[in-house]
Amino acid sequence: MSHYKSNLRDIEFNLFEFHKVQDYSTKAYEGMDENTMRDILSEIERLAREEYSAAYEDQDRIPLKLVDGEVELPESVKAAGRAFMEGGWDRLGLPAELGGIEAPPSLVWGVSEMLLAANTTVQFYTGGSLFARVLFEEGTEEQQELAKTWVEAGWGGTMVLTEPDAGSDVGAGTTKAYDQGDGSWHIEGVKRFITSGEHDMTENIVHLVLARPEGAGPGTKGLSLFVVPKYMVNDDGSLGPRNGVFATNVEKKMGLKGSTTCELTFGADEPAVGYLVGDKHDGIRQMFRVIEYARMLIGTKAMGTLSTGYLNALEYAQERKQGADLTQATDKTAPRVEIIRHPDVRRMLMTQKAHAEGMRALVLYTAWVQDQARMHPEDDNWERLNDLLLPLVKGYSSEKAFELLSMSLQVFGGAGYTQDFPMEQYMRDARIDTIYEGTTGIQALDLFFRKISRDQGATLASLAAQIVEFIKGGEDADVLADERVLLGEMLDDTQAHLGSMVEHLLASIGGQPDEIYKVGLQTSHLLESMAETVIAWLMLRQAEIVAPKVDEDPFYLGKLESARWFVRHAAPKAALRRATAEAEDGRLMEMPVGAF
């Protein structure tokens, strides 16, 4: 029986009833009409529920071993990967000139949710086409041909940033690149925590590696991006000799145990030959194209995992009988009822439901923004809005999903702590999400210091204006009138929270440098309030659509009630965070380390 339970109905609601992606110009996405997109989603849901789910326990419980620089994956993991690749799904969303199937990002992320939630490990191994796309769009003509070969052959790919001593401080990396004078470079150094750095899912793995050319300056500006294949590639696309990049360790981890997280050593015993991407030194910008996609991916993974966790808990709560109804608690002869009849269980279930649907709304709204950016490249406001939303998608979804997966497990009671149900594995596999691709603290700093400050808050102000317009748009008999008021209060509290941080920032610039600490102490709280304000806005917009239809389908009633629940419970938290930010005195930063 499959562990994975999709919410395909809600994915389709977001795409077709809320964002109406079926109305996009056929010129932009030839052949992607509504029936085709629904067929794709249906087939992916089957693949996730069957082949991907069938490998979920194996990837966790069959140990991976590094032997002579090679790792052999469980057969079920490779079978799931083959099913994905043979279906051509690795090409969904790629440009046609790269051999892809043109599709809007919103559809691609709807597909990704199901695959990532069913088996993240398999999806990691089959994600090489993402890296090939970056090489195709950033590379030289020769590298573009390599990218086409890469996609055609279905090779794996990696992003190689982190080093043992540098960690998240990417600019502190010491891996070196030496120009050989013939268009090739020799890469020397050690990288750590490289996802899918070694495996036998594909016959080749192509690494995108940040390294510092000999003589280059310090920090991230001195880094360049190199393409380094595991096996060299001949002019005709066939594989040549083994390159000098080897996995020298595979980490033993808390979760995602079937995903090889590798230490990669470059150029230890023989040269690791690489080629400068685009033949220009622009590494951090080029690599950030991968990083930002990965941040969206991890936020989507987190949301999808919470969704299936909730749906597993919901099913259990409707089957498990325990205790009498609270109205008959003193009657020892009262019949036992399904635990979904108990108020505290219902509270936990609705909390999970509302947040899973809210985070899906956030993810697919961000994907819709990416649709607009793709269709209207002349308008850079869409890219700016996407940039603003990404820290919310990644930072909020990863934090909240792990927190609420604990609640999913709680519904099962002691049974949830065992391997009889997938909950304990969900929690272990989700714990990394707040760390992947920049911790939540890094996302929050990025949000405040880069995404908001970069254009003096203009993009944020434009988004806030849309929220205000919605708040004012209700009719006299609006069933959401109270919730619109609460949304307005959330927006006011979040803007005041931001305002207090800006005051501290300006004070730090104006001669009181320690004031910057007060900003740093509140950035994560700001991210949370911003995310919940945007989610509340999206959920209420969706509730406005479903309100006239609640008698037609319980799904619509559920959407309405989850929106109400979310706003009513999120609004007081935004007010508390505002008060905390306004009262921030920075005292924590004055405390001596010995007092901790």
Q: Which backbone phi and psi does 338 adopt, to 5 degrees? A: -60, 140
- Torsion from C-alpha of 358, 361, 365, 368, nearest 10 degrees: 170
Instruction: Report the distance separating Cα 329 and Cα 545, nearest Å.
Output: 40
Residues 6+ apart with CB under 8 A from 106: 15, 19, 21, 364, 367, 368, 370, 371
Please, which residues bridge with residue 70 across strands?
A: 67
Residue 534 CB burial class (10 angstroms; 0-12, 13-18, ≥19): buried
Cβ 187 vs Cβ 251: under 8 Å? no
Q: 210-224: buried (b, 16+ CB within 10 Å) or exposed (e) per residue?
A: bbbbeebeeebebbb
DSSP character for 241? E
Residue among 98, 150, 89 nearest 123 (CA): 89
Between β-strands 272-276 and 70-71, what pairing exists: parallel, antiparallel or unpaired? unpaired
Catalytically annotated residues: 437
H or E element, residue 81: helix 75-86
Instruction: Report the distance separating Cα 11 and Cα 19, nearest Å.
Output: 11
Instruction: Report the distance separating Cα 496 and Cα 75, nearest Å.
Output: 55
What residue type is assigned to position 133 of the chain?
R
Instruction: Report the distance separating Cα 218 and Cα 315, nearest Å.
Output: 55
Instruction: Report the distance separating Cα 537 and Cα 214, nearest Å.
Output: 50
Structure tokens at 212: 């510092």
